[in-house]
Structure 1
Amino acid sequence: MYPLTYVDGYRIPIREEVYVLDIIPLTAGPATISSDQKLSLFNPTNLKAGPQLNLLTQHGNITCAKAYDAGNAVICTAGEDGSVSMWDLRNDPRRADVARLTDNPVSVSSLACSDAGYSVVVGTELQDHQASIIIWDVRSNSAPVLHYKEVHSDDVTELNFHPSNHNILLSGSTDGLVNICDIRIADEDEVIIQTFNHDASIHHAGFLNDTEVYALSHDEKLALYDMAENHQNGAATTDFGDMRQVLGCQYIANVTTKLNGAGAVIGAGAHDQQAFELIHMRKGQGWNLDRDGSVGLPGAHSSEIVRSFCFDDKAQTVFSAGEDGFIKAWRPNA
């Protein structure tokens, strides 16, 4: 394992316990959402100076955020009250909130955006025996253009658009299913074009490339599936099993797909050891974990859980965020 060095950081300076919930990598620098209901943007070379932009969201409790546009200037946030806000981070803070999508009263548990398809999508928690996937066209941001009520039977915990087709949407749920949907189809009986049964509550799921997807359960089971025609039975093509046993960790924070198609990175933590490790998942003859080439963040976020991590490849920096209220920057030794 190759250790990185902690070079910079910032902690939210308030007395009560505040979690940094997620990091969203943007062109301008890392953005974070935190449990004090803030959306913050940081200078990637000077975290300790504090947020360059610090916006108070209005969702009750904020739950998720995603970049909307390829230029990474607009970000969407959503939360407990069911609404979605769109923020243009180039604007003055008083004018940063550029759109608010409503007509959903149910708490949002997942979010996806596609500027190619002018789409913002939320997945909701289960309420009144119904969990929804709701889609807005931001060119007419009043009422949703689609509302699926039967795609999942429990909380919709993950949404991701296909990397090259903005009409294809992946959804994951605590019902154990990962569904691939064609959102050009309004009929709920026809919208699902493929289903993978992970047989455990979905924590994270996403596309690895044009045909392969991963699914990670809340009990840390990881498996890969393939949409290609020669894998139509829906069974896992690679089943890694319980990652706590495979990696000797206590939790998986997330799986981050590499944008160049060179696999993915698994973030694995052990809070009682104050450890966090980044393990590359590569594809050769099959998918394999590169344990020898793993990268460590020594000390991590002390004994607190690491919630999120992301990369700035140009600056050779890893950013991490955790339940200690910190965002941290890590780099190789000079």
Structure 2
Amino acid sequence: MLPHIGVEFQPVGVAKVPSKGEDGVYCMATCVSPSETNMIVTTSEKEILLFDFPTLRPSRKFVGHNGPVGGAGFFRGDAENMIFSVGGEGDASVKLWDMRQQNEVSTLRGSDAELFSADINADNTVVAAGGMENIYCWDITAMKLLRKYEEGHCDDVVQTKFHPTNSQLLCTASMDGLICRADISIAEDMDAFDTILPTDISVSRIGLFGPNEDFLYCVSTNETLTLWNLDTAALLVDTGDTRQAVKTATGLEAEYLIDCYFDASAEGLLMMVGTSEGAAAMVDVQTSGMVGRASLYSGHTDIIRDFAINTTAGWVTTCGEDSVIALWQAKPPLVDAAAHHNVEEEG
């Protein structure tokens, strides 16, 4: 029996990605456009799928990477018709796409054999990618390499995150346990990195939060969560094993931490956790502990890989290893967006 946790969310829209083999298709990452009219999902089939949002009706498919797609996202603001994606082992490229024409606009490459992450800055002029120790920054107005930082990390750079308003500030995280903040207007490595956070554990995900985005959360490969002040490099919160903390707070036997999200309206950090059977919960992360906020129980049957959320509008999207993409709303639903789609049949 799953415990009752805060607000109950229910799936009001589902899209199923059909398998091309015996192993099924993993839906790896999801992102909703700034205008909330489109959504992209990356899959284990080296594809980027575009959906209308919030209907989840399949729209287009982008195929061009020769390896796993490590992530994808929309350009910011009014340029959201453009998409960027990063290819992993066997590909090692960042691709730019025009979603209106389903065309690949450009391919950017470094010297690494694999790229793990990518992000675009606030004014859509620079794309940064993390490789095997190296960090690449491309000027996409001139389609040329702007920076290559080689000294910040000594292992795979698994996350690159630009500040949402300052186009020059880039945060990077690595399996070496370090999180760095760089000013990409500076060419020299040691001068560019103004903040280094020693987490002492392999990093899985990072993100900026707070009213001025001057705090950082770090999710480790051991399912721990730490919160940092970026300006002072001070460790503010160390939750330890989040699975035990969530069980204590909610009763849910969580097995992994999916990611976090800053709820600007409540000025609080939300964490989503999941089980191997596809149940998930959202938890408020507070300095005094954790408080259960919502449950998402009936949309998935396997591990949930990623989510996107708008707490003001009241929706959540998830994707997972069961080939399912789901749109959730609080019960009762706030808007009528119910739909069920098969991607192959309609896309």
TM-score w.r.t. length of structure 1? 0.87
Structure 1 residues 261 and 296: alpha-carbon distance in aligned structure 2, compared to 1, 3 A threshold: closer
1:186-215, CA deviations, whole angstroms, 9 ceiling, x for partnerless residues?
111212101111111000112113321111
The equivalent residue for 2:219 is 216
Secondary structure of 1:4's aligned partner: strand
The equivalent residue for 1:296 is 295
Distance 2:198 2:15 in 1: 40
Distance 2:265 2:179 in 1: 24
Superposition pairs for residues 131-142 of structure 1, below 5 Å? 131-141=133-143
The equivalent residue for 1:128 is none
1:45-101, CA deviations, whole angstroms, 9 ceiling, x for partnerless residues?
322x4x111121324221111222223221100112121111122x222xx322221
The equivalent residue for 1:9 is 14
The equivalent residue for 2:193 is 192
Aligned length: 312
Structure 1 residues 260 and 135: alpha-carbon distance in aligned structure 2, compared to 1, 3 A threshold: farther
The equivalent residue for 1:276 is 280
Does residue 308 in structure 1 map to residue 306 in structure 2? yes
Distance 1:55 1:41 in 2: 8
The equivalent residue for 1:58 is 65
* 1:221 shift after superposition: 1.0
Distance 1:172 1:261 in 2: 27
Structure 1 residues 29 and 262: alpha-carbon distance in aligned structure 2, compared to 1, 3 A threshold: farther
* 1:151 shift after superposition: 0.7
Unaligned runs of 5+ in 1: 126-130
The residue identity in structure 2 corresponding to 1:36 is E
Distance 2:116 2:162 in 1: 16
Does residue 254 in structure 1 map to residue 259 in structure 2? yes
Does residue 83 in structure 1 map to residue 83 in structure 2? no
Does residue 29 in structure 1 map to residue 38 in structure 2? yes
* 1:287 shift after superposition: 6.9
Q: Which of 325, 328, 332 is the matching residue for 2:326?
A: 328
Secondary structure of 2:200's aligned partner: coil
1:284-331, CA deviations, whole angstroms, 9 ceiling, x for partnerless residues?
xx575332xx111113421x1100111245753211100011101111
**Contact map agreement 1:221 1:242 (CA 8 A) in 2:** yes
The equivalent residue for 1:19 is 26
**Contact map agreement 1:171 1:178 (CA 8 A) in 2:** yes
Distance 1:117 1:136 in 2: 11
The residue identity in structure 2 corresponding to 1:278 is M
TM-score w.r.t. length of structure 2? 0.84
Superposition pairs for residues 140-155 of structure 1, below 5 Å? 140-141=142-143, 143-155=144-156
Identity of aligned residues (%): 24
Distance 2:130 2:216 in 1: 19
**Contact map agreement 1:265 1:281 (CA 8 A) in 2:** yes
* 1:280 shift after superposition: 3.0
The equivalent residue for 1:319 is 317
The residue identity in structure 1 corresponding to 2:189 is E
Does residue 263 in structure 1 map to residue 268 in structure 2? yes
Structure 1 residues 260 and 158: alpha-carbon distance in aligned structure 2, compared to 1, 3 A threshold: farther
Unaligned runs of 5+ in 2: 248-253, 333-347
Higher relative contact order (CA 8 A, sep 6+): 2
Distance 2:187 2:266 in 1: 31
